[in-house]
Chains A and B, each alone.
Chain A
Amino acid sequence: MIDLEFVINVLSLGSLYAMLALGLVIVYGILRLVNFAYGELIMIGGYTMYLLAGFTPLPWLVIASLAVLAAMFTSLFTEFVAFRPVREKSLTAMLITSFAVSTFLQNGALLMISPRARAVTLPPVFQSSVMIAGTSVPWRHILTIVTCIVMLALLTLLLRRTVLGIALRAAADNFAMTRMLGVPANTVISTAFAISGLMAGLVSIFWIGRSASVTPTIGGPPLLVAFVATVIGGMRSLTGAVVGGFVYATIISLLGIFLPPDLQEFREAFMFAIVILVLLIRPQGLIRSRTSVERVG
């Protein structure tokens, strides 16, 4: 039941979901755009690993790093060629563009590689475990948790200690005013997309680490998870994204334990019922951004 194994499972899943949600929220915070092509960045990471591991002799760490870079590059590239030209038009135009980018990337993979799943060779560490207090803990979980902690620390440093990071937070608060202080819109937006791609790239390693395969539609489920986690945590807050990721992981894991076996296949339906409840009680999510509680007078 709820033992060390469960806790580590939840922490690992929560770490993964928190990184996913962060990547979505960092762009949303500035552009108010839910980037529906976000899941495809994970797919790009997956296929990069598949191609490099299958057809080159590169060591796995290099392959994983290149997969992350590929996701970052794709994120930046789609911002440059697809989102930037429509940015001044309307939010709807950007939203539709994100669907178009998503469809384009998915079909690209479908045509150029295969509609069927491709096996991704992973290093032995993804299958091995370590004994902690009498419990067998997969290394995969430990790596996910450590990566998440490192990323949160780095992101906090960037956002609190650098002028660019402060500008990113200011842009999420009031983009027009940030620009009037001389902060270039393109720099802020590109940085947000780069961070988003970085998160997607890292997630792709661990997401694919679970199934050891990649398909053109692999981006769908993580996108949904990221979206739901941000709705739970609050779309306007990075802390909210992290909290939302961990809350999502906790609820879905608890449902996995406490739902009767014949209801297990409806686990997601229960999850979404809980989300609807959150939206009814706290439409702004669990964590409100400070902007919405601004003092007046």
Chain B
Amino acid sequence: MLELQDVHVRYGAITALRGVSLSVGEGELVALLGVNGAGKSTTLASIAGGLRPQQGDIRLEGSSILGKAPEQIARLGLSLVPEGRDIFASLTVEENLRLGAFTRRKETEYRRNLSEVFDLFPVLRERLPQPGGTLSGGEQQQLAIARALMSSPRLLMLDEPSLGLAPALVDQIFDLIARLHQRGVTILLVEQNVDRTLEIVDRAYLMSTGLIEGHGTPEQLRTHGDIEGIYMGVRRQKD
């Protein structure tokens, strides 16, 4: 469904991505793991059209989306929940959700998605008339994910959804991601919480200093010790 081929991104003199290649299949839950500064968020931003790679290609269902504006990419069914949530603080919860459905303007579809979102996040129903900025951190994270789901995305990208949340909420978020996966949503997940992530994903890529250093199923990654290598800052010897 999604394929990155040799993607390079430079910010001025800094090279953030040095040839990233990865793929996410239909209905898969794939994680991108790595320490801070490895280039995970840059990878997501490049896919969503927030950044323009200087080299390489990004393809969604076979067609290149490289150089397309963020709004065009969103219309193709790709939805990003950015790190830091980026909910609209001055808009009410309802308005946040309404905008999430901007690409799905049919009232019937909006109602259906809204009731699905309320099933997943009952607290949002109570918060509908409140400005997003007055929600707690956990509620804001739920709103950010709910807003992304309002567009019935074909590919959902989550950037560190558990960051800054209390442990009980972290469990809830991971349960939710697993449930969305079971429903058939294709998900690309960036996380720091490696243990919890490997419990729910189909495959994971390990990133370090702008490169993919390894990938495989959670079992493969655990047995080969790639994870420790990445998190200890030691590169795996390629064989």
Contacts and interface: CB of A to CB of B under 8 A. Distances in A.
Interface of A: 163, 166-167, 169-170, 173-174, 176-185, 289-291, 293-297
B71 A182 contact: yes
A163 B49 contact: no
B134 interface: yes
A182 B151 contact: yes
A170 B91 CA distance: 7
A162 to B, nearest CB: 10
Contact of B136 (A170, A173, A297): A297
Which 6 pairs, one residue from A and one from B, show the smallest C-beta to C-beta distance?
A182-B74, A290-B90, A182-B103, A179-B70, A294-B89, A177-B86
20 contacts: A163-B102, A166-B98, A169-B91, A170-B88, A170-B91, A170-B95, A170-B99, A173-B88, A178-B99, A179-B74, A180-B70, A180-B74, A181-B71, A182-B102, A183-B102, A185-B71, A291-B90, A291-B133, A295-B136, A297-B137
B50 A180 contact: yes
A112 B108 CA distance: 55
Nearest to B100: A181
A185 B50 CA distance: 13
Contact of A293 (B50, B88, B91, B133): B133
Contact of A180 (B48, B98, B164): B48
The bracket for how many chain B residues form the interface is 20 to 34
Contacts of B137: 296-297
Contacts of A177: 82, 86, 88
Contact of B99 (A167, A185, A290, A293): A167
A290 B133 contact: yes
B125 interface: no
Contact of B147 (A181, A184, A293): A181
B131 interface: yes
A84 to B, nearest CB: 13
Nearest to B96: A170
Contacts of A180: 48-50, 70-71, 73-74, 79-80, 82
Contacts of A167: 99, 102
Nearest to A165: B95
A179 B88 CA distance: 13
Contacts of B100: 181
A183 B71 contact: yes
A290 B98 contact: no
A176 B105 CA distance: 21
Contacts of B136: 295, 297
Nearest to A172: B90
A163 B70 contact: no
A289 B69 CA distance: 28
Contact of A295 (B69, B70, B102, B134): B134
Contacts of B131: 290
Contacts of B135: 295
Contact of A185 (B48, B69, B82, B134): B69
Interface string B93-111: 0010011101101000000
A184 B71 contact: yes
Given A173-B89, A180-B50, A294-B89, A166 B133 contact: no
B196 interface: no
A183 B72 CA distance: 9
B222 interface: no
Interface string B105-136: 10000000000000000000000000101111
